[in-house]
Amino acid sequence: MSGRASALLLSPPVFQSSISSGLRFHVKIAVVGCGAVGSYYGAKLARAGHEVHFLLRADYETVRRQGVLIHSPAGDFQVRPRCAQSPGEIGVAELVLIGLKSTANERFAELLPPLVGPATAVLTLQNGLGNEQQLARLFPVAQVMGGLCFVCLNRVAPGVIRHLGYGQVVLGEIQRPSDRRTSDLAASFREAGVACTVTENLARAHWEKLVWNIPFNGLGVASAAGFDAFVRPSGDSGPSALEPHPSTPGECLTTDKLLADGRWARLVRELMLEVIAAARTLGYDVPEAFADQQIENTRTMGAYRASTLIDFERGQPLELQSLFLEPLRQATRAGVAMPRLATLCGVLENLKRTGPLTR
């Protein structure tokens, strides 16, 4: 048996023992990607008593002086994590928490090795598909974990995060079942006030999250092109006839506006059903009723601005690859047609070139 294969049978022992009794042990945690997600969960873990280091760039001076402030319906709080501008300042951690946008994954090889030792667990909380696999090309599979965040968050200023609701994290291992390390880490999140569960099928959990992410992150941005960007050529009513049409960027729609307009609401549901059909073909038994459940849950969020919409309005790179193109690629390879997603990808590519409307 090769060294890499045998590593699959092991959990990093130091990390496992460090958190095996919840908060009776303080874990050294490095947060890489301190936007809304990384800052929120890093702050929760810091408040629980863990030794949390934030790897920062533009926000370094502000966070170093003022700490991180979380505004939340559950109660505001402020923490002062240890701040660093380079991974070498932090050194090897027991847990590396990745909150980077997937558009920055090419920096993994630069940022992560100084933080990762033989016993380090590397947990990505990123959106979309393929992030864990990219990490597994740098580190043994046994050290890589995936996490899905079901939370409404916005970064409103350097070091200031607005938590609007929800917050659950779902943890899973890749290419192997969960074990004591997984359950212990979940327990530590719960001790920090984060609802956290463990999935035995991380890939299915990713596809379940895509049921929400693809329509609401995607159409929140694509709505800037107007509904006419999603058209069918005259005389052809088949779904495969959908074609993206370039247009001048306009207003991006929040989740409540997407659901309030019958045309957009239908497209939301159609995209959800495409994602579910692809997931089922790939062997993940996601029921069609899951789409309606997600829509009803979204109605409770009010005027929520999904992260991709915020990135677009700020002129930042969009997570096209992990959130849209990779799911489409996997579905196409499995023989599943996703015409609405294909059109959405085309609209997003057009908007990526034109940029947001300047007001």
Summarize pLDDT for 140-160 with one digit per residue, the tens. 999 999 999 999 999 999 999
Which of 10-19, 47-56, 73-82, 282-291 bottoms out in mean pLDDT, i.e. has the lowest? 10-19
Whether 329 and 254 share a structural domain: yes
User: Would you please indicate which residues are annotated as catalytic (active-site) residues?
Assistant: 209
Q: What is the pLDDT of residues 301-331, one digit of tens each?
A: 999 999 999 999 999 999 999 999 999 999 9
Whether 183 and 219 share a structural domain: no
Whether 210 and 186 share a structural domain: no
Q: At which of 143, 171, 200 does a domain end? A: 200
Q: Is the pLDDT of residue 231 over 90?
A: no
Q: Is the pLDDT of residue 45 over 90?
A: yes
- The structure's pTM equals 0.87
| pLDDT at residue 140, as a whole number | 96
| pLDDT at residue 249, as a whole number | 56
Rounded to whole angstroms, the Cα distance separating 221 from 229 reads 12
Which of 23-37, 213-227, 278-292 bottoms out in mean pLDDT, i.e. has the lowest? 23-37
- Cα-based angle 121, 127, 129 (whole degrees, multiple of 5): 85
| pLDDT at residue 41, as a whole number | 98
Q: What is the pLDDT of residues 93-106, one digit of tens each?
A: 999 999 999 999 99
In this prediction, residue 138 has a pLDDT band, given cuts at 50, 70 and 90, of: very high
Rounded to whole angstroms, the Cα distance separating 313 from 310 reads 5
Whether 314 and 286 share a structural domain: yes
Whether 188 and 322 share a structural domain: no
120 part of a folded domain: yes
359 part of a folded domain: no
Residue 271 sits in a domain whose CATH number is 1.10.1040.10
Residue 110 sits in a domain whose CATH number is 3.40.50.720
| pLDDT at residue 26, as a whole number | 83
Whether 195 and 227 share a structural domain: no
- Mean of the per-residue pLDDT values of the chain: 89
Between the alpha carbon of residue 299 and those of residues 254, 257, 296, 319, the distances in Å are: 11, 10, 5, 24
In this prediction, residue 8 has a pLDDT band, given cuts at 50, 70 and 90, of: very low
- pLDDT top residue among 7 and 320: 320
Q: What is the pLDDT of residues 238-270, one digit of tens each?
A: 444 444 444 445 789 999 999 999 999 999 999
Whether 247 and 166 share a structural domain: no
Domain count, the chain: 2
Q: Which residues form the domain of 270?
A: 206-354
Whether 145 and 240 share a structural domain: no
Whether 104 and 222 share a structural domain: no
Q: What is the pLDDT of residues 289-301, one digit of tens each?
A: 999 999 999 999 9
| pLDDT at residue 250, as a whole number | 77
344 part of a folded domain: yes
Beta strands in the chain (DSSP E): 28-32, 51-55, 68-71, 77-79, 82-84, 93-98, 116-124, 144-157, 160-173, 196-198, 230-231, 243-244
106 part of a folded domain: yes
Q: What is the pLDDT of residues 172-203, one digit of tens each?
A: 999 889 999 999 999 999 999 999 999 999 99
230: Cβ contacts below 8 Å, ≥ 6 apart: 222, 242, 244, 267, 340, 343, 344, 347
